[in-house]
Amino acid sequence: MRKLAVIVILLLTGIVASAQHEGIRRYFSSYTLNNDTTTDMRFYNDTTLDEFYKFMPQQKVSDNTLGLMNPGNPYLTAIFSKKWKNHDFYFLNNYQAFIKSHSDVIYFDAQKPFTRFDFTGGNKGLELVKFIYSQNFSPYFNLTFNYDISNSDGFYLNNASKVNALYLAGAFTKKKYQNHFNFIFNKINSNENGGIANPDRFRSGDIRAVDNNVQLSKASSMISQLGAQYNHEYRFGHYTIDTIIRDEKNDTALNKNLHSKFSIVHDITFDRYKREYNDIASALYTNYYNDSTNTLDSTTYYQLTNKFLFCLNIQDDSTDNRLKLYAGLKNKLYIYDIDSSYRSIYNSTYVTGNLIFKHNRTDLQAEADYCIFGSDAFDLDVYGSLRQMFGKELGINAKIGYSLCNANIYELYYSANNFKWENDFKKCGIATAHIDFFYEKFHISVGANLNLLHNYIIYNYQALPIQISKSNLIADVYINKTFNFWKFHWFNEVAYQYISDKQYVRLPEVVGYTSLYFMTGMFSNALTLQVGFDAKMNSNFYGYAYMPATAAFYLQDNEKFGFYPNLGFFVGAKIKRFRIFAKLSNYGSLFMKPTYFTLYRLPDNPFAFNFGISWEFYD
C-alpha cells in the first residue's frame, strides 16, 4: 500500500501544483446529533496546516499522551481532566481515539459530493488511511461513508497492530419529519508484548530499542464493536411561504419555513461489543485458573438503549435566539457474557432530558439522567456548560458536572484464565468543574479544571480492582499562548496538576508542549509553506504499569520517569485543497540517553520519519 500511496502523492502533487490558485470554498454544512443538532466544524475548518503534522490519533486528544505511540495501543492522558468519559464497554476506555462512536458521527448537507482522502506512512510499516465521502441524493436525503484503517509493525517486538473503524450515516430531513441513522463497525487487533523485559538494559543504550526483549512474545488481543442507531423526530407546526430572489435576473423561488414549537423524538441504539485475549504461559502471570498452557479469554457485551422524548422549542427566527427543552424516558438493557459460561442481564429506566438556551452572546446547555428503577436505580448524571462572549473575541467557557453511578459491571465481576474477582462496590462519585478565559485577539487562553473523586476504583499493585472511599481532589491550571512575529509563530501550553492523594492516582505534576514554526506564502500565495520544530515533556512521576490480560493500568513503585524532551521537526505545504507534510519524531533519541519512557516498561517510539497527505475535492 505504501508504494501505491507514494505514486499517488507524486501524481497529485504535480496535478495540484499546475492548477490555478483558488480560495477554499465549502459546499457543505455538517453537524452531530445528541437529541438536538450541533454544528460540527472538524471537516469544515480542516484545510489549514495548523497541527496537520500531528498525525497520530492520540494527538487529537492531547499533545501529551502516555503509552506506546502506536495505533491500536492503549494510552492515558497526562492531564486527568483531558480524559474522555468512560466508555460503556470497559475495554474501549483507553482506545477511544481510534474508534467511531454514535455520538461522534458527523452528518452532512452536501450541495456537491464531498470526498477527502488522507494517507500517512513511515517507519515500521506505519500506514494510516482515512477516507470520507458524502453526497446528497436529493435536497432532503444525504449519505456519508467514513472509513479509517491503520496498520503498524511497531518499533518493539510483538507490537504490530491493525485498526478498522467505519460508519455509514444517513439523514432524511423533511421539514416536519427528521430521520437520522448510522451503522458503526470498529475492530482493533493488537499484539500484546507486556513492555520491555529489561528496562535497565534499554536505558543503557547497549542494544537498539527495537531489539530489546519483551515480556510477552505470543500474546494478542482483539476488540470489536458492531452497532446501529436510528433517531427520528416529528415536528408539529405550520408553514409560512416567502418569495425570495435567487439571482441578479430577479428569478424567484418559494421558501417554505416550518414554525414548530413542539415535537416528539424517538431514538433506538443497539451495540454488540467483544474482547478476546490469547496467550501462552509466561512468567508475567502468577495465576492460571483454567489452562496452564494456553489462554483464550472472551468477553461479550450487548447494549440496547431506547429513548422517547418530548421537545418544547421557542425560537425567534429573526435573531436565532432560542429555548429548547427535551424531557422523557430512557430504557437501557444490557447483557454481559464471559466465555459463554457466565451471563448477567441488567435493565434500567431513566428520566432524561436536556436544556438548550441561546440568547445573543450567551450559549447555555444542560443534561441530566436519573435512574428511577432497575439495576442502576438512583444513578445520577448531570452536566452543564456555558459559553459567554463579552465581545467578538473575548469570552469564557464554563462547565460543571456530577456523576454518582454503579461501578462498571466488568469491575464488579470477572472470570478469566489469569484473573478472577467478585466485588461489592458502592456507587462511584465524581464532581467536575472547568473554566476557561480566552481572548482570540491575543491568541491566549487561561483555564482551570477541578475533579473531586469519591468511592473511585483503581487497580492495585496486583492489577486487581479496589475501591478507594477517601476523596481525592485533582485540579489543574493551564495557559496556552501563541506568539506571532512576522511569519514566525510560537505556540506554548503548560499545565500544573495537583493531586491530593498521589498514592492512588499517578500522573505528572507539570506538563508542557511547544511548537515554533515559520509559515509563508509562495508563488503569489498559491502555495503555503510551513517549517518548524515541536517538543513535549512532563515532570517525573511513578507512572502506571499495563496489564495486557485485562487491559488495565495499575500501580507500580519500581520506577519514576519523565523530564525527557521529545523533539520533532516538521515541514508542510498546502496548495489549494491538497496538503502534504513530513516529520522527524523524537530525533533527540539519536544523541540522548534512551530514557523516553511514558509508562512502566513502555517507552515512547524512538527516532522515526513520517510523511502524509490530505486531499479533498467535490464532484
pLDDT digits over 477-487, tens only?
999 999 999 99
For residue 391, what are the contacts with CB-CB under 8 A and spacing of at least 6?
Answer: none
Q: What does the DSSP 8-state code read for residue 504?
A: T
* Distance between CA atoms of residues 268 and 457, nearest Å: 31
Q: Please give the grid coordinates belonging to residue 548.
A: 495486557
Tell me the pLDDT tens digit for each residue of 61-89: 999 999 988 999 999 999 999 998 999 99
pLDDT at 368: 98
* Distance between CA atoms of residues 223 and 415, nearest Å: 17
Q: What does the DSSP 8-state code read for residue 541?
A: B
CATH number where 320 lies = 2.40.170.20
List, in sequence order, every beta strand (DSSP E) within 339-427: 342-359, 362-374, 380-389, 394-405, 413-415, 420-422
Rg (CA), the chain: 26
With helix as H, strand as E and coil as C, how does 454-486 read? ECEEEECCCCCEEEECCCEEEEEEEEEEEEEEC
Decide: 275 and 91 in contact? Cβ < 8 Å.
yes
Query: What are the C-alpha distances in Å from 589 to residues 71, 122, 566, 607?
Result: 21, 17, 8, 6
* Distance between CA atoms of residues 279 and 550, nearest Å: 12
pTM score above 0.85: yes
* Distance between CA atoms of residues 275 and 298, nearest Å: 6
pLDDT at 251: 54
Domain count, the chain: 1
Per DSSP, the three-state class of 127 is strand
pLDDT at 45: 72
pLDDT at 583: 98
pLDDT at 309: 98
Q: For residue 211, give the H/E element and its range.
A: none
Decide: 308 and 265 in contact? Cβ < 8 Å.
yes
Tell me which residue of 77, 124, 97, 204 sits closest to 585, measured CA to CA.
Answer: 124
Query: Any idea which residue has 499495563 for its cell?
Result: 546
Q: Any idea what the Cα angle at residue 155 is, between residues 546 and 68, rounded to 5°? A: 30
pLDDT at 256: 63
Q: Please give the grid coordinates belonging to residue 601.
A: 516498561
Decide: 330 and 340 in contact? Cβ < 8 Å.
no
pLDDT at 206: 77
| Low-confidence residues of the chain: pLDDT under 50 | 4, 7-23
The helix/strand count (H/E) of the chain reads as 3, 35
* Distance between CA atoms of residues 15 and 327, nearest Å: 53
Supply the range of the domain harboring residue 426. 2-618
Tell me the pLDDT tens digit for each residue of 236-273: 987 776 665 555 555 555 566 777 899 999 999 999 99
pLDDT at 244: 58
pLDDT at 335: 96
